[in-house]
Chains A and B, each alone.
Chain A
Amino acid sequence: MGSGKSGNRERAVAAHNGHERMSNEHTIKTISGMDSVNATVLGADEIILNMGPQHPSTHGVLRVKLKLDGERVAGSECIIGYLHRGVEKIAEHRSYQQFAPYVDRMDYVAAVSNGLGYCEAVEKLLGTEAPPRARVVRTILTELQRIASHLLWLGTHALDIGALTPVFYCFREREEILKIFEKYCGARLTTHAFRIGGLQYETYDGFEEDTRRFCNDFAHKIDEYETLLTENRIWVGRTKGVGILNAADAIALGVTGPVLRASGVKWDLRKALPYAAYDQYEFDIPTRGTGDTYDRYVVRMEEMRQSRRICLQAIENIPTGPIMARIGKVLKPPPGEVYHSIEAPKGELGYYIVSDGTTQPYRVRVRPPSFINLQAFDKMAKGSLIADVVAIIGTIDIVLGEVDR
């Protein structure tokens, strides 16, 4: 039981799908925060380029080893685990309620969704259901969180591709949503907004007005972003045809979320296996055909619009009643197991919880959408140019907290 030290290490790289070995031994030299490889000669046939864990565009600590043939990517390998915190192991030493805040820290960009998935999974384990009012408020907050997550994605993705302005506009909108969260539960980012069995806090006075005002303003803000990007020739040129993933590959690789929908599979857990209050509302599932970066962009923009639509419908009609189900303070679910998943902004977020009848779960497994979507990176990046790699990483929308847990 030792602790190994991670850091710069030398090893010959085995190609991802084959078993060829690279002939060059690689030493790693640092240039201003980026690791690069001293290949022997400029004319080397294939060189390995390391996008090191510290890099402005990898959205967290992700290391990508690219095997380059000239300018083209011939293969790639993602090295993850820099943010592994052992969340699943910790879960076995905490009670069900105590574990809930840990869940926010995985996909820290969309903490509310994580909380929703966990609370619903435990409720399923207990055999109870949150009361209607709680379900509707949960839906509203989760959809607001989806918009916030997509806004952050849009800003950072545009920044990677070189558009310097949308990121500020996106954060300005996101600020409004975070203010609503702060007024509701006191925290902006790692919210712990939901409790097992329902909600802890009543909605504050002005919750509906704030949300309605935000939704009304938001419609023409999205149009603003679209004006800047959607028809822009440079944007289209940088994203169309880049990182294509077809539907069959997507399903085989277990990819879910906007990436799957952009590849042509019209599937959304909110419609297929509804949870919370989603079956009461009308909304569309945006789908596109090709599965390139541009399609994923369009799908997420449209999803923001649909989320707004759901919010507006939900606010009209929040049922009155209790916000917490009648469950004891000490939770001892009967032995058994449950797998429950929700449509998080990144994809299908699933919780597989095994209970042995005590107050602490026996095993909590988180099915992380970013982890599984990142597997598709190799397929998407093969054959593209180096300059596109950054765009492809951005378009999968990963959060390293979720990839590594």
Chain B
Amino acid sequence: MQRLKARFGDAFREASLDRKQAIALIAVEQLREISRYCRDEEKFDMLVDLTAVDWPKREKRFDVVLNLYSFAKNERLRLKAHAGENEPAPSVCEIWPAANWMERECYDMFGIVFEGHPNLTRILLPDEWQGHPLRKDYDILKQDTDWVRENLGIESGQ
């Protein structure tokens, strides 16, 4: 943690320890550099998970979360970066090829655009799908009641 702070001073926002897990909040523009540093210097050679969380009331609504693991040190690290609605995030595909499909899923579900991704298309939903389901304003209950009302003429029981 100290080393990260020292190296990337201004981009490094916050370090926290939540329930014994190391979390580092960083600036989204530096994501690629910090990732490269983590992989090369700190030996976090495996990207375990890359995902996002939507906090719609915040100014930069998305939290891009990377979970890293180091085989040598048997340690986990979480990198978080705030990204705004139309703000692209740098892709870490060239650092960890595992990120390929994970970033596509984030794009599919949240609409976060990853710059530098070789093939940023929808992965789980059909290509023609409109909308990004995991955003908090994508209301599935409302969709359900609307559809049932329109097509079946009754009230949905949800």
Direct contact of A and B (CB under 8 A): yes
Q: Is the CB–CB distance between B48 and A80 below 8 Å? A: no
B123: chain A residues at CB < 8 Å are: 80-81
Q: Among the interface residues A89, A125, A127, A363, which one has the most CB atoms of the partner chain B within 10 A?
A: A363
* Chain A CB within 8 A of B32 CB: no
Interface residues as binary, B123-158 with A (CB distance below 8 Å gives 1, 0 otherwise)? 111111111011000101101000000000000000
Q: Which of B45, B53, B54, B109 contacts A251 (CB 8 A)?
A: B45
B98 at the interface (CB under 8 A from A): yes
Within the complex, what minimum Cβ distance (angstroms) separates B55 from chain A?
9
Choose from B71, B124, B130, B143 the contact partner of A267 (Cβ within 8 Å): B71
Query: When the two chains form their complex, are residues B141 and A93 in contact, meaning their CB atoms are under 8 A apart?
Result: yes
Can you name the residue of chain B whose Cβ is closest to the Cβ of A271? B74
- Tell me, in angstroms, the Cα distance from A375 to B130 when the chains sit together: 25
Give the residue name and chain of the B residue nearest to A362 (CB). Answer: B53
A367 touches B126 (CB 8 A): no
Residues A5 and B126 in contact, CB atoms below 8 Å apart: yes
Q: Report chain B residues within 8 Å CB of A90.
A: 140
- Would you give the shortest CB distance from B24 to chain A, in whole angstroms? 13
Q: Which residues of B contact A404 (CB under 8 A)?
A: 124
Measured CB to CB, the nearest residue on chain B to A336 is B18
Knowing A1-B130, A352-B67, A362-B53 touch, does A252 contact B96 (C-beta < 8 A)? yes
Across-interface contacts of A251 in B (CB, < 8 A): 45-46, 71
Q: Does B97 contact A (CB under 8 A)?
A: yes
Shortest C-beta distance, A194 to chain B (Å), equals: 20
Does chain A have a CB within 8 A of B14? no
Chain B interface residue count, Cβ-Cβ cutoff 8 angstroms: 43
Q: B49 touching A3 by the CB < 8 A rule? A: no
Please, how many angstroms separate the alpha-carbon atoms of A252 and B46 in the complex? Answer: 6
Interface CB pairs A-B, < 8 A, 13: A2-B129, A3-B129, A6-B126, A80-B124, A90-B140, A93-B140, A254-B46, A272-B74, A337-B18, A339-B49, A352-B67, A365-B49, A372-B98
Whether A208 is near chain B, meaning CB under 8 Å from some CB there, is no
How many A residues are at the interface, by size bracket?
Answer: 35 or more
Q: How far is the CB of A125 from chain B (nearest CB, A)?
A: 7
Flag if A253 contacts B125 (CB, 8 Å).
Answer: no
Contact check: which of B51, B100, B140 meets A365 at CB < 8 Å? B51
Out of B65, B101, B122, name the residue touching A372 (CB < 8 Å): B101
Type the 1/0 row for B32-71, where 1 means its CB is closer than 8 Å to any CB of A. 0000000000000111110101100000000001010001
Q: Are B130 and A81 in contact, CB atoms less than 8 angstroms apart?
A: no
* Complex Cα gap A86–B133 (Å): 8
Whether B19 sits at the interface, judged by CB under 8 Å, is: yes
For the complex, is B5 an interface residue (Cβ under 8 Å from A)?
Answer: no
**A84 and B118 contacting across the interface, CB-CB below 8 Å:** no
Task: Indicate if the CB atoms of B19 and A81 lie closer than 8 Å.
Answer: no
> Which residues in chain B, 75-99, are within 8 Å of chain A measured between CB atoms?
76, 78, 96-98
Contact with B along A1-24 (1 / 0, CB 8 A): 111111001010010110000000
B51 to chain A, nearest CB (A): 5
Chain B residue contacts of A6, Cβ below 8 A? 126
